[in-house]
Amino acid sequence: MKPHTLRRTGGIAAVAATLSLSLAACGNDSNAKSSDSPTPTSSAPAANAMDAGAQVFGDACSSVPADGKGSFNGMVTDPVGTAASNNPLLGTLVAAAGAADLVDTLNSAEALTVFAPTDDAFAKIPEADLNAVLADKATLTKILLHHVIAGQLDPEAVVGTQDTLNKDTVTVEGDTFGMTVEGANVLCGNIPTGNATVYVIDSVLMPS
C-alpha cells in the first residue's frame, strides 16, 4: 500500500488558502519608473490549492469519484453525514445513521474521527441479524457511536487506544502502509470532510 504525503489535520488541514498581495507603486512623478517599487505577487489559482485527496491512503481510495460531491474535494466542504451520503462506498452506513437519527448529530459536531464500514462490511453480517439491528434503535446507536471518536486525528495521532462516543474504546494499529481498527482493515484513510476525518474500513466494529 503506497502512502500519500501526510500532514496533521487540526480542523480541515486538507484545504490550503491562497493569499493575494496588492502593492501600490511609489513616486512623485506618475510617468517616472522606479526600480525600487516591488513587483506585485501573483497568487496560484484557488483550484490548484485545493487537493483534499493529497493526504489519503489505501487501495480503495481509487474507488472514490474524481470529481463531484462524492470526490475528495467535494466531501471536504460538507459535514461528515452529508459527505458520507455522497460516497459510493457507504450507502448502508448512511442508511443506518438515518435509522438511528444520528445524521444531524454527526453533522453538527465540531470535530470527529469516523471509522466508516463499507457496504461490503455490512454485507458480512447475516441479513436477518442486520435487519434486527437496524430495527433496534438503541442497539444501532451504540454500534454506530462505537465507530466515532472526538477530534480530527491524522494517521499518526489516531494510532493507539481511543475513547469512542459510545464511552468505550477501540484500538488502532499500524500506519499508512497497513492500518487496522480492532482488526478491521483501513481501506481508505485520512479522508477530510467539513468537520471530520474518515477512515473507511472493511468490517463493522461491535462494542463489547
Give the span between the Cα atoms of 100 and 207, in whole angstroms: 16
What ranges do the domains of the chain cover? 55-201
Give the span between the Cα atoms of 176 and 186, in whole angstroms: 9
DSSP string, 179-201: EEETTEEEEEEEEE-SSEEEEEE
Give the span between the Cα atoms of 5 and 2, in whole angstroms: 10
- Predicted pLDDT of residue 53: 93
C-alpha cell at 194: 467539513
Q: Where are the beta strands (DSSP E) in the chain?
A: 112-117, 148-150, 160-163, 169-175, 178-181, 184-192, 196-201
Please state the φ and ψ torsions of residue 102, each to the nearest 5 degrees. -105, -10
C-alpha cell at 157: 495521532
- Count of H-run helices and E-run strands, the chain: 8, 7
C-alpha cell at 106: 454527526
- Predicted pLDDT of residue 64: 93
Grid look-up 494517521 returns 155
Give the span between the Cα atoms of 135 and 125, in whole angstroms: 15
- Predicted pLDDT of residue 208: 84
The CATH-assigned architecture of domain 55-201 is: Roll (2.30)
Question: What is the model's pTM?
Answer: 0.77
What parts of the chain have a pLDDT lower than 70? 1-50
